[in-house]
Structure 1
Amino acid sequence: MTIEAARTGLAGALASRSYTASELLGVMSARLLKDGQTVFAGVGIPLLAAILAQKTHAPGLTILFEGGVIGPFVEAGKLPPSTNEQRCTRRANMLVSITEVLLMLQRGYVDVGFMGGAQIDRYGNLNSSFIGDPANPKIRLPGTGGGNDIASLADMIVAMKHEKRRFVEKVDFITSPGFINGGRTRAEAGLPAGGMFRVVTDLGILGFDEENREMMVLALHPGVTAADIKANTGFELPVPADVPTTEAPAMEELAILRELDPEQLYTA
């Protein structure tokens, strides 16, 4: 079978799902979060996943916003457009300054950082700054915000679509560090804590081996094959012969996401 035929088959398999790729990202990401953790969540899928975790298996999860909101109150159908959205301060647990939130991160009180990116490489380095030559980029992206701080000091979960243009051999710019060049290079760069924990995509769940710190496949989503993963990755990505398959999103999980985002601003 050619790569093109494999992609056509994958597109058909994904289209037959009763949920969108973004809903799948939200559900699978939520399942990685644990009760009692403190998570630094960005808007969109990260926030949806964190709220879903709170409403299912992790009621004691604490959500932080970069803008200074601790424990934001998010009403169904009124998702904030940014982490500086002041409407989320109403009925929140606490409101502090951005500096105080980052101090919490630096002092080790944040368990998980949760974000996305335009590019990621085999060592989990993220690019959300620009695509192309730094002197003359093809595309300018939002940049770091607090992304570098979060990735430097906490365990990271990244949620993104699995495409060859995103999963690249080497990112055009390291906005948020993963394991740098693998091995001990992250610690040698002065970042002894944290690191990339999981990458959740619409094809599977990825982790990093303990020695070389290279990306590897931990599980495939229903209907996805090893060939699908390889066809959509821009570098060699090992897939174990006995790789497990994730459990498809439950109707309860999907119902919560759809109630939170009825207009599908983030889950389309």
Structure 2
Amino acid sequence: MTVNAARALSGSRTCFVGIGLPSAAANLARRTSEPDLVLIYESGTLGSKPSRLPLSIGDGELAATADAVVSVPEIFNYWLQAGRIDVGFLGAAQVDRFANINTTVIDRGPGRSEGRLPGAGGAPEIAASCGKVLMVLRHSRRNFVEKLDFVTTVGHGSGPGDRARLGLLGEGPVAVITDLGVLRPDPETAELVLTEIHPGVTVPQVIEATGWKLRIADTVGVTEPPTQAELAALRALKSGGDTRA
């Protein structure tokens, strides 16, 4: 999942990075196929080059290795909302068929208090204004749901035309990479379609792990296995090792 998410950044120049799985993928891309990729975090760091995976957007490693550190208002007003960033990379607690995101609250059922999540952070603005959005999360019925418990971040809304109607600048989500495969929005309906599976995964597995009637591409590809170089770079990141040239 992380390797394929990193590969999805091929050809990108700037990436607004969410913490967690998106950060792992973006940092892996910078250490492998995209060494010149500029990583931007909402805490105000431009061009961060961490030697390990940051614990949060406030991790001092991001500032210590950045080309520049600016204010949060400048990050959002000048860089993000002005459309100056190629790719936004987000995670999610829940995703629906139109790649809308919930990271705010989970309905835990009758008689139970709602489950509180970290919240929106910069995700709504990232999804609104970056040139395109990539998403990465684990694939289960708990995460891929028919209806979000709360709409934190708009992906493709309720279908074609919603982003334009809302005045959102960017293209929106172009791929959702999971531990089972890759889903992409249909050009006509904007609904997520299974286009690739990872080696050893079957299409019925993905269908069973999805909380709606998942659409399947006419031809479902199989992703390339991770290379030894990609695995070594990822392990170094996770262990805190520094493999920078």
Q: TM-score normalised to the size of structure 1?
A: 0.84
The 5-angstrom pairing of residues 197-236 of structure 1 reads 197-236=174-213
Match of 2:91 among 105, 116, 124: 116
For residues 40 and 33 of structure 2, what CA distance do their matches in structure 1 show?
18
| Percent of residue pairs bearing the same amino acid type | 39
For residues 167 and 49 of structure 2, what CA distance do their matches in structure 1 show?
36
> Would you say the 8 A contact 2:83–2:170 is kept in 1?
no
Instruction: Give the corresponding residue for 2:105.
Output: 130
Aligned-partner residue type, residue 63 of structure 1: L
1:241 shift after superposition = 4.1
> Would you say the 8 A contact 2:2–2:25 is kept in 1?
yes
Q: Residues 123-162 of structure 1: CA distance to partner in whole angstroms, max 9, x if unpaired?
A: 00000000118xx852100100111111111211111000
For residues 160 and 114 of structure 2, what CA distance do their matches in structure 1 show?
32
For residues 89 and 27 of structure 1, what CA distance do their matches in structure 2 show?
25
Match of 1:96 among 51, 70, 73: 70
For residues 204 and 128 of structure 1, what CA distance do their matches in structure 2 show?
22
For residues 35 and 61 of structure 2, what CA distance do their matches in structure 1 show?
22
Q: Could you say what secondary structure the match of 2:6 adopts?
A: helix
Match of 1:81 among 43, 55, 61: 55
Tell me how many residue pairs correspond in the alignment.
237
Instruction: Give the corresponding residue for 1:175.
Output: 152
Match of 1:245 among 222, 230, 241: 222
Q: Residues 86-134 of structure 1: CA distance to partner in whole angstroms, max 9, x if unpaired?
A: 332123111101111112111111111111111000000000000118x
For residues 97 and 199 of structure 1, what CA distance do their matches in structure 2 show?
30
1:192–1:51 CA distance, 2 compared to 1 (3 A) = closer
> Would you say the 8 A contact 2:39–2:49 is kept in 1?
no
Segment of structure 1 superposing worse, 82-91 or 164-173: 82-91
Aligned-partner residue type, residue 231 of structure 1: E
1:189 shift after superposition = 2.0
For residues 91 and 61 of structure 2, what CA distance do their matches in structure 1 show?
23
> Would you say the 8 A contact 2:18–2:90 is kept in 1?
yes
1:128–1:184 CA distance, 2 compared to 1 (3 A) = same
1:229–1:36 CA distance, 2 compared to 1 (3 A) = closer
Q: Could you say what secondary structure the match of 1:156 adopts?
A: strand
1:250 shift after superposition = 1.2
> Would you say the 8 A contact 1:131–1:137 is kept in 2?
no
Instruction: Give the corresponding residue for 2:238.
Output: 261
> Would you say the 8 A contact 1:73–1:89 is kept in 2?
no
For residues 211 and 8 of structure 2, what CA distance do their matches in structure 1 show?
25
**5+ residue gaps, structure 1:** 1-24, 264-268
1:44–1:158 CA distance, 2 compared to 1 (3 A) = same
> Would you say the 8 A contact 2:104–2:116 is kept in 1?
yes
1:190 shift after superposition = 2.2
Aligned-partner residue type, residue 115 of structure 1: L
Instruction: Give the corresponding residue for 1:51.
Output: 27
Q: Residues 24-80 of structure 1: CA distance to partner in whole angstroms, max 9, x if unpaired?
A: x2101000102452101122221221122122211221100100000113124xx32
For residues 172 and 36 of structure 1, what CA distance do their matches in structure 2 show?
33
Instruction: Give the corresponding residue for 2:243.
Output: none
Q: Residues 137-188 of structure 1: CA distance to partner in whole angstroms, max 9, x if unpaired?
A: 5210010011111111121111100001110111111111101101112211
